[in-house]
Chain A
Amino acid sequence: MNASVVTPIGAPVRRKEDHRFITGKGRYTDDLSRPGQAHAYFLRSPYAHARIRAIDTSAAIDMPGVVAVLTGKDLAQDGLGGLICGWMIHSKDGSPMNAGAHPALALDTVRYVGDHVAVIIAETLNAAKDAAAAVVVDYEILPAVADLAQAQAEGGPVIHDVAPRNTVFEWELGDKAGTEAAFARAAHVTAIDIVNNRLAPNPMEPRAAIGDYDAGDDAFTLWTTSQNPHVARLVLSAFVGLAPENKLRVIAPDVGGGFGSKIFIYAEETVCAWASKRVGRPVKWTCERGEAFLCDAHGRDHITRGELALDGEGRILGFRVKTTANMGAYLSTFSSCVPTYLYATLLSGQYAIPAIYCEVDAVYTNTAPVDAYRGAGRPEATFLVERIIDKAARELGMDPAEMRRRNFVTAFPHQTPVIMCYDAGDYGASLDKALALADYTGFPARKAEAERRGRLRGIGLSAYIEACGIAPSAAVGSLGAGVGLWESAEVRVNPTGNVEVLTGSHSHGQGHETTFAQLVSARLGIPIDQVSVVHGDTDKVQFGMGTYGSRSGAVGMSAIVKALDKVEAKAKKIAAHVLEASEGDIEFKDGRFTVAGTDRGLAFAEVALNAYVAHKFPTSEIEPGLKEGAFYDPSNFTFPAGCHVCELEVDPETGVTQIVNWVAVDDFGTVINPMIVEGQVHGGIAQGVGQALMERVAYDNDGQLVTGSYMDYQMPRAEDLPSFTLGLTETRCPSNPLGMKGCGEAGAIAAPPAVINALTDALGTQDISMPATPAKLWAVAQARVTRRAAE
């Protein structure tokens, strides 16, 4: 679609930002340089757990090109506080979580391999690395625990003194007694044990930062790879104590993917900003891929037992869950809410479940911190729900599709036993459409045909739901959040009628420059190339909460709509004066303000010009100019949902899985740009397939990272995936003006159980864990042969 046209909602407008990216004109943090900048390199702990007896930096400081070597003592000396976790969770007994201190540079203890020991700042990165080798650290190695299953053992290593048995909290949600009662009258109980594998986020662009202190203004600027620059500024100001907000500007320029990992406030970015004042020069750091594996917050990492109570007809009576969640060595910025309020609140899935009770122990280990990763808690919940319902169906001899249908929520709003109130949806419709597109009834014939070729074919469903549009501020506040989760927007109409939209959302691959502009183009009736989207700079956008949790559409665009409402209202007033009509008679349509019932009218740009010229309306009543801002706080979460169907074949000789068909039917509410939405779904499915079949962060018993590069950490490749068949169903979200639900995480949430359910179908056993690697599946296929022979 041409850029100089008005772009209606629902049109597959080409991404405006792609020309810049494809031609290499993107401006990422590492592309930027500041005059006189020095380079930072972080000396990291080679041990998973050790006491630091002493750090001798004297030899390093004398190395050529070295500007400074700084440690945690220097940070503390300057009065800087540690990194924080912004969500308070209370244990069952009412006690607050046991959060250990999290200094940006270690003080006396290192707690995981990669933990930050010192920063070396030098003229070149190489000089900094040379000097790092000359820093002498006297470590007393301590016993470490990297394995989640061992972390709470009595008498084991203690990672933070404040957390006995390494337990951060023992949290619960739901109705324990009611759930027990459901189990007491159950005709059948299905139990499942699940390991939700630990993942490395792997954005294409690694993290980077440039800290730049201006002594003249006594002010800092931090360029960094952030999904939420204002939150970074808030944390660095209010908690770390770097500088007040008016003296700290955070800029997140082009950012190449985040998947959650760039929400958090990390040590390196903090240190670069602080050190720029210490050394009086800009300080730049770019993460290497190996460092990213070590230190970017990982995702998932749960061990769970789930039990489902069913009546004689396959109706769910109750659901009981016990999860142990790995937090790593420190609580990262939002880590505590991920295995709690973003997880247990989704345990009802798409189903009417009368009673749910969930317990979650959050546990420290000597591993990298774990925090939100695409989906954050909701993939873990969905995997559990969709695996156990599938297992139950097979135990009861029911068709998994029928089992789901029988338990669907069908009336809305629906209050689940775990906080969420689903506002709208049609789960039967997405299931039906997915089954039709997947030719579900034709599957047995395809399976038989594959069998003749020596392939084991399986089909698996995943009827997922997620809570997006994060989130109503008062609601999350009551659950422990330290911040509100509204969004802000400002619409600045220039005198000649083109528009700048300032948003607190941040695009790092989502295409906001297109989608947001498309919305404004459609609403104001002006060509999309006359709309620019401004984001990612705390000096330009007043405040914003950033992009994660599929919130930029439902929350960020709702704020834009609110601002547009105000712009239109004011423009109507001005048009009325110019057209010498009464305000009530002014209509706005297709970019024109007209007097109802006449052919008199003004184009949007003419009204804009009048607003700034201010000759034709009383400025005592109407201020000159056309610029409006709005803050939008959602009244509910949104609930994207849908059904994915995965069909695959396993080669029993090698254990290789080939996904042969993938159907995704999603209900995202209103879709602004279907092309961008499809891209989001594709990427999400790829990441979900990665989790199901390939990806896994592994530590050995000493806490050394085994999967520290792409030589050992497998990412999905194009050839691992089929062409997806996508379909949409639509129920509008009633709580926001556009009816949007969000689509950024759906694929990553839906995909893992679809794959594993298909594998269990292919191999005839429930005993398949993620990642289902070829080696693992070969062993399963071998066992199947042995089992068959015995039968």
Chain B
Amino acid sequence: MYAFDYQRPSFSQDAVSMMRSLEEPKLLAGGQTLLPTLKQRLAQPGTLVDLSRIPDLSGISVAGDVLRIGAMTRHAEVATSDLVHAHSPALAELAGMIGDPAVRNRGTIGGSLANNDPSADYPAAALALGATLVTDRRRLAASDFFRGLFETALEEDELILAVEFPKSGPAAYRKFRNPASRYAMAGVFVVRGADGVRVAVTGVGQEGVFRWKEAEAALTARFAPDALEGIALDPHTAMSDLHGDGAYRAQLTKVMARRAVEAIGG
């Protein structure tokens, strides 16, 4: 690690003003991505602004039809929360599939979404469920938030405060883990909503998380596992690496989508 300064504000407003006033500041959430990056000397922030002691950044609540999850809420809390299970069981299930227990006890939903790793799980849920990201200055629809590999609509000094999930129809997430890292090789979140089916895919797209429109159309027309039979993802749009080429990822996407549909029940 390079040397850096460290701040641990108690209020989110202080965190925001530190982000504005300090030299090369960087927000620290669960540190599951940031700390390995620092250890490998791939980043050299001037100050780490640790969000872990800001009470109003974590916690889960339901207001009306909206489930609100504070940005600093750990994956383990989401996975085990009764509120999340009641409101959006597929989201809880997804959180329980992230990494391993140590990662789930440290990693946060805000950090995961801000990071927008193309193989992370939460982005699929946010996109499929039509989540809204609440920041210190605005509300961003998930569809406007994800901007490609590790890219988001966040400004340099912008802080995610919470993520809001509207009540949805039945949903399911099926994930094929990368055999080594356990991130998604193909993670498919399917929501059967009143206004149609949404299918969001992570781990596959060369531009990060995306909605598989062809599958959505097919499933909206007829919600059944075999409705996906005739369609296929273009292998050339899928990532290719040591663990699998585009054709394999395209196949996995289809299989995970079908298994999610089966889980929801046709």
Measured CB to CB, the residues of A under 8 A from B are 126, 129-130, 290, 653-655, 694, 698, 706-707, 710-715, 773-775, 778-779
A712 touches B255 (CB 8 A): no
Bound: A714/B182 CA distance, A: 10
30 contacts between A and B (CB under 8 A): A126-B1, A126-B2, A126-B3, A129-B41, A653-B251, A653-B255, A654-B251, A654-B252, A655-B248, A694-B179, A694-B180, A698-B242, A710-B180, A710-B181, A711-B180, A712-B180, A712-B181, A712-B242, A712-B243, A713-B180, A714-B180, A715-B180, A773-B179, A773-B243, A773-B244, A774-B248, A775-B243, A775-B245, A775-B248, A779-B248
How many A-B pairs have beta carbons closer than 8 Å: the answer is 43
A706 contacts which chain B residues (CB < 8 A)? 242
Residues of the A chain whose Cβ atoms lie less than 8 Å from the Cβ of B248: 655, 774-775, 778-779
Question: A176–B251 Cα gap in the complex (Å)?
Answer: 49
8 Å CB contact of A707 from B3, B40, B242, B255: B242
Q: Does B212 contact A (CB under 8 A)?
A: no
Given A654-B252, A706-B242, A773-B244, list of 18 further CB < 8 A pairs? A126-B1, A126-B2, A126-B3, A653-B251, A653-B255, A654-B176, A694-B180, A698-B242, A707-B242, A710-B180, A711-B181, A712-B243, A713-B180, A714-B180, A715-B180, A774-B179, A775-B244, A778-B248
A126 and B251 alpha carbons, distance in the complex (Å): 46
Q: For residue B252, which residues in chain A have a CB less than 8 angstroms away from its CB? A: 654
Q: Which of B181, B242, B251 has the most CB of A within 10 A?
A: B242
Cβ contacts under 8 Å, B2 to chain A: 126, 130
Q: Are B251 and A778 neighbours in the complex by a CB distance under 8 Å?
A: yes
Contacts of A775 in B (CB 8 A): 243-245, 248
Closest residue of chain B to A775 (Cβ to Cβ) is: B244
B176's closest neighbor in chain A, by CB?
A654
* CB-contacts of B212-266 with A (<8 A): 242-245, 248, 251-252, 255
Contacts from B to A (Cβ < 8 Å): 1-3, 40-41, 176, 179-181, 242-245, 248, 251-252, 255
Contacts of B176 in A (CB 8 A): 654
Of the listed residues A290, A694, A778, the one surrounded by the most CB atoms of chain B closer than 10 A to its CB is: A778
Contacts of A126 in B (CB 8 A): 1-3
How long is the Cα–Cα vector from A712 to B243 in the complex, in angstroms?
A: 8
Q: Tell me, in angstroms, the Cα distance from A130 to B41 when the chains sit together.
A: 10
Give the residue name and chain of the B residue nearest to A127 (CB).
B3
Q: Which of chain A's residues have a CB closer than 8 A to the CB of B243?
A: 712, 773, 775
Q: Which residues of A contact B1 (CB under 8 A)?
A: 126
CB distance from B229 to the nearest CB of A (A): 13
Residue of B nearest to A126 (CB): B1
In the complex, what residues of B have CB within 8 A of residue A290's CB?
40
Chain A residue, CB-CB nearest to B3: A126
Closest to A698 in B: B242
User: Which residues of A lie under 8 Å from residue B244 when comparing CB positions?
Assistant: 773-775
Q: How far is the CA of A715 from the CA of B248 in the complex (A)?
A: 21
B252, closest chain A residue (CB): A654
Chain A residues whose CB sits within 8 angstroms of the CB of B245 once the complex forms: 775
User: How near does chain A come to B23, taking the closest CB pair, in angstroms?
Assistant: 19
Alpha-carbon distance A101/B244, docked complex (angstroms): 39
Complex Cα distance A130/B252, Å? 44
Q: How many Å lie between the Cα of A344 and that of B167 in the bound state?
A: 66
A227 to B198, CA, bound (A): 57
A107: shortest Cβ distance to chain B, in Å?
27
Q: Do B3 and A714 have beta carbons less than 8 Å apart?
A: no
CB closest chain-A residue, reference B247: A779
In the bound complex, CA of A778 to CA of B248 (Å): 8
Task: Give the nearest-CB partner of A651 in chain B.
Answer: B255
Once bound together, how far apart are the Cα atoms of A555 and B161, in whole Å?
Answer: 65
B206 to chain A, nearest CB (A): 17
Shortest Cβ distance from residue B32 to the other chain A in the assembled complex, whole angstroms: 13
- In the complex, A778→B252 CA distance in Å? 10
The distance in angstroms between the C-alpha atoms of A106 and B3, with both chains bound, is 30
How distant is B46 from chain A, measured CB to nearest CB, in Å? 16
In the assembled complex, the CB of A261 is this many whole angstroms from the nearest CB of chain B, namely 20
* Interchain CA distance A736-B176 in the complex, whole Å: 51
Residues of B within 8 A of A774 (CB): 179, 244, 248
Residues of A contacting B41 in the complex (Cβ-Cβ under 8 angstroms): 129
Do B251 and A714 have beta carbons less than 8 Å apart? no
